[in-house]
Amino acid sequence: MRPHEKTGTVSRRGFVKRSLVAGSALAMPWLIPSRALGRDGAVAPSERITLGAIGIGPRGNAVLHGMLAEPDVQFVAICDVRVDRRESVKAMADRHYGNTDCAMYRDLRELLARPDIDAVLIATGDRWHALGSVLAAKAGKDVYSEKPCALTIGQCQALADCMRLHGRVFQAGTQRRSVPNFQAAIQLAHSGKLGKLHTLHASSYRPSVTHDWLPAEPEPPQDVVDWDLWLGPAPWRPYNSAYVSGGWRGHFDFDSGARLLDWGAHTVDLCQWANQADDTLPVDYEASKDGITAHYANGVDLIIDFLDEPFGNRAPQYGTSRGTCPVRFEGDEGWVETGDSGEIAVHPESLRSELVGFRPMAGTDSTTHSRNFLDCIKSATQPAANADVMRRSHIACYVAALAWELGRKLTIDPVSESFVNDEEANNLRFRAMREPWRL
């Protein structure tokens, strides 16, 4: 209790670590000083963040739309290896601004060389996230990167270290940290009203991975689909059109973590937050046919539940009405469960009165998370899903995936982020990047 707090007041600071309050949905968006607002509410150029985007497919479009709606964003450049995507994003941007100013690039190095660009949104396929973010940071840009932010444990480490070294703002696309119902569930977990936490549940798909190559097809012209640039740091394989339209998912070289991170990057991250464990991760991991159980040093269990119908009937592990990406936090006096529908379930029901009132928002909605990113560019505050938070929750997911892939119990030292007595697991933390790329 701070000296200035009245007795009995629930401290907003008491429920999230100081560095994460910026993500609270109850906090107003960063107030743009009235002097910066023009006559019709437009923001003065000096207060605007000039934005570029790299790799904009369906998810990228959704996030970009949210950013374009912010009055202090000026979106000026799209980079994509697919000509149809860069043209459609340019058309969308030009319509929005009523001009033809949006620039198109095939090669992200050209976009990043522009001194006027302050920040980039990276929504490429997973294999490009870490390298794109690092190149952007070295070019002096702040980064919002879709998750998973890296393909391996080693890449997570290098990415977080790079952001620290270059002093850049980094926001991982784990937007549920900025979505009200998830925040309310976290607040309940932190309040002590659930008693001592003992088990945290993170939903995910059943893991799977393939090492197969799709049949080789003739490569399209470079200015239609640049296959070499699409691959980027991933090792070579022959072109197949399916890869570039989302068919890269599940392939080991492009989508690490046995598909666990598609939801796990969100759900495990929320469990880390619930356990106030953003500066550490579970130490032991063991896979079974139903899920992966991990143990924190503080005694709490993290269970990744494999859902047979992640988009359908999620029972019995979770309530189906609560939507996708459900999580449940269990303590010895009660539990709370929530998901993308915005609905929250509590037990006992009396806990409902403890829930902070909030405005429902879809779990996939990135607008408050983007706003948090933009605010942090202008201030010296830490984004809700900053690089250090991302590092630990992503590594936890990758360790879980390795426990499943290798079929044995794994123990990791959370400080050195290395496995105990397992050379093979340690080797699997890293992959070489295809030349000329490096982190």
Partner 1 sequence: MACRQRVTAVSVAAVSLLSCVALHAQDATSPQAAGRPAETQGLIAVLQSDATTFDKSQACQRLAAIGAPEAVPALAALLPDEQLSAYARSALEAIGGSSAADALLEAVGRLDGELRIGAINSIGVLRESRAVGTLRGLVHGPDADAACAALAALGRIATPDATEALLWALVEGPTERRPAAADACLTCADRHLSQGRPGDAVRVYYRVRHADVPQHLRLAAACRTMVARQSAGVPMLVEHLRSGDRVAATMILRAVREMPGHEVTRALVDELAKADPWLEVMLIHALAERDDEQAWAAIRPMAASDVLEVRLAALKALGPVDVTTLKFIPLFDGKTFDGWEGDTANSFRIEDGAIVGGNLRAPVPRNEFLCTVRPYANFILRAECKVISANGGIQFRSQRVPNSAEVSGYQADMDSGGTYWGCLYDESRRGMLVQFDATEVQRIVKRDDWNAYEIRCEGQRIRLLVNGVQTVDYTETDAGIPLSGVIGLQVHAGGPSETWYRNITIAELP
305-344 positions binding partner 1, by CB under 8 A: none
In the complex with partner 1, the residue whose CB is nearer, 237 or 347, is 237
Q: Are 169 and 373 in contact (CB under 8 A)?
A: yes
C-alpha 119 chain-centroid distance: 17
In the complex with partner 1, the residue whose CB is nearer, 150 or 300, is 150
Residue 146 CB-density burial (10 A; 0-12 exposed, 13-18 middle, 19+ buried): buried
Among 7, 39, 58, 211, binds partner 1 (CB under 8 A): 211
Instruction: Give exposure, 211-233, as e/b (b: 16+ Cβ within 10 Å).
Output: eeebeeeeeeeeeebbbebbbbb
Is 222 among the residues that bind partner 1 (CB under 8 A)? Answer: no
- How many H helices and E strands in the chain? 12, 15
Cis-peptide into 436, omega within 30 deg: yes
Among 124, 174, 382, 393, binds partner 1 (CB under 8 A): 382
Q: Are 383 and 171 in contact (CB under 8 A)?
A: yes
Ramachandran region, residue 389 (left: φ > 0; alpha: ψ -120 to 50; beta: rest): alpha
Is 413 among the residues that bind partner 1 (CB under 8 A)? Answer: no
Helix (H, G, I), strand (E, B) or coil at 82: strand
Ramachandran region, residue 200 (left: φ > 0; alpha: ψ -120 to 50; beta: rest): beta
In the complex with partner 1, the residue whose CB is nearer, 208 or 245, is 208
Helix (H, G, I), strand (E, B) or coil at 189: helix
Is 432 among the residues that bind partner 1 (CB under 8 A)? Answer: yes
The Cα 314–Cα 249 span in angstroms is 22
CB of 431 to partner 1, least distance (A): 5
In the complex with partner 1, the residue whose CB is nearer, 198 or 237, is 237
In the complex with partner 1, the residue whose CB is nearer, 86 or 391, is 391
Q: Are 102 and 75 in contact (CB under 8 A)?
A: yes
1 residue type, one letter: M
The residues near 161 (Cβ < 8 Å, ≥ 6 apart) are: none
Binding string, residues 77-116; x marks residues near partner 1 by CB under 8 A: --------------------------------------x-
- The stretch among 70-78, 102-110, 233-241, 266-274 that binds partner 1 (CB under 8 A) is 233-241
Is 418 among the residues that bind partner 1 (CB under 8 A)? Answer: no
Among 223, 289, 316, 349, binds partner 1 (CB under 8 A): 289
Question: Residues 319, 321, 327, 333: is their CA dihedral positive or negative?
Answer: negative
- The stretch among 73-81, 94-102, 161-169, 171-179 that binds partner 1 (CB under 8 A) is 161-169
* Region 243-262 residues binding partner 1, contact defined as CB under 8 A: 252, 258
User: Quick one: tokens of 347?
Assistant: 């037990």
Among 98, 359, 415, 416, binds partner 1 (CB under 8 A): 359
Among 68, 88, 161, 199, binds partner 1 (CB under 8 A): 161
DSSP letter, residue 47: G
Is 415 among the residues that bind partner 1 (CB under 8 A)? Answer: no
In the complex with partner 1, the residue whose CB is nearer, 286 or 320, is 286
CB of 436 to partner 1, least distance (A): 4
Is 242 among the residues that bind partner 1 (CB under 8 A)? Answer: no
- The stretch among 80-88, 277-285, 293-301, 375-383 that binds partner 1 (CB under 8 A) is 375-383
Among 222, 245, 379, 418, binds partner 1 (CB under 8 A): 379
Is 39 among the residues that bind partner 1 (CB under 8 A)? Answer: no
Is 287 among the residues that bind partner 1 (CB under 8 A)? Answer: yes
Q: Are 296 and 411 in contact (CB under 8 A)?
A: no
Helix (H, G, I), strand (E, B) or coil at 347: strand
Is 404 among the residues that bind partner 1 (CB under 8 A)? Answer: yes
Q: Which of 268, 274, 196 is nearest to 16 (CA)?
A: 274
CB of 135 to partner 1, least distance (A): 11
- The stretch among 5-13, 67-75, 125-133, 333-341 that binds partner 1 (CB under 8 A) is 5-13
Q: Are 117 and 51 in contact (CB under 8 A)?
A: yes
Is 4 among the residues that bind partner 1 (CB under 8 A)? Answer: yes
Strand positions, DSSP E, 39-141 = 49-54, 73-79, 103-105, 119-122
In the complex with partner 1, the residue whose CB is nearer, 30 or 97, is 30
Among 7, 100, 236, 316, binds partner 1 (CB under 8 A): 236
